[in-house]
Amino acid sequence: MKAACHFPPHTLPPPTPKFPNTRRQSPLTFGNYMASRSGDYVSLIFTYGTLKRGFYNHKLMEELMSTRDAVFMGNYTTVESFPLVVGPHGIPFLINLPGSGHWVRGELYSVLSDRGIALLDELEGIDRGHYERLPVEVVNEDGGDKKVATAEAYFAHREFGEAIWKRCGKVGLSEYSMDDGRRYVRREDRPRNSSFLGDVKKFISGNN
Question: Helix or strand or coil: residue 66?
Answer: helix
Specify the DSSP class assigned to residue 145. Answer: S
For residue 62, indicate whether it is catalytic. Answer: no
154, β-bridge pairs = 133
DSSP H or E segment with residue 109: strand 102-111
**Do the bridges between strand 147-156 and strand 43-47 make them parallel or antiparallel, or are there none, so unpaired?**
parallel
Query: Of the residues 107, 124, 152, 175, which is catalytic?
Result: 124
Nearest to 138 by CA among 96, 94, 72, 76: 76
* Spatial separation of the C-alpha atoms in residues 25 and 149, rounded to whole Å: 7
C-alpha 132/C-alpha 85 separation (Å) is: 16
C-alpha distance across the termini of the chain, in Å? 16
Q: What is the sign, positive or negative, of the torsion defined by CA atoms of 10, 165, 96, 94?
A: positive
Picking from 48, 46, 52, the residue whose alpha carbon sits closest to that of residue 108 is 46
**DSSP-derived 3-state class of residue 208:** coil
Q: Please list the active-site residues.
A: 124
